[in-house]
Amino acid sequence: MTDEDPPRPEDLPPGYDEDSPYADADFDEFPEWWRRNVEEFQAHEMRPYRPPRFTDGTVTTELIERLESTHGVDIRIRAVDPHDGGAWEILVDDKVVDSVERTRTESGNTRYEITASAFEATVADAVSE
């Protein structure tokens, strides 16, 4: 936890978020997968959906989809140990090409501790082998 991610009060109602990311949003501007996740989170009274990102703020799903299309490969980030602080791997066509740390922020966002450019370089290196 960091100073920018203070502890969340336990007495807040389900789904409440003091900083709703969709207050003034036009859902037509979001990709279908994003809209589906927002609706699913709302249906289960969860805090608003926030897609996973890299440390520089880049949305992981969008970058992964672009790299898969560009290189004709399957890219995944998966948990080796799904517990808090556990190891995560980057896979390209089911081959482990690197590991990455993952942080869950107080705002409910998953952040992979790698920049988008470093992730792209990792994938490019794996594809060129």
Q: Per residue in 1-51, pLDDT tens?
A: 444 445 556 666 555 566 677 778 888 888 999 889 888 988 887 878 889
Taking the C-alpha atoms of residue 109 and residue 35, their distance in angstroms, rounded to an integer, is 16
Q: Is pLDDT at 77 greater than 70 in this prediction?
A: yes
Question: What does the pLDDT read at residue 12?
Answer: 61
Cα–Cα–Cα angle for 38, 27, 18, rounded to 5 degrees: 55
Residue 37 CB partners (closer than 8 Å, separation 6+): 49, 51
- Which helix (H) or strand (E) segment is 124 a member of? helix 116-128
The length of the chain is: 129
Q: How many domains does the chain have?
A: 2
Average pLDDT of span 63-68 = 97
Tokens linked to 98: 């690197």
Q: What is the pTM of this model?
A: 0.78
- Specify whether 120 is located in the same domain as 77: yes
State whether 43 and 83 are in the same domain.
Answer: no
CATH number at residue 113: 3.30.160
How distant is the alpha carbon of residue 33 from its chain centre? 13
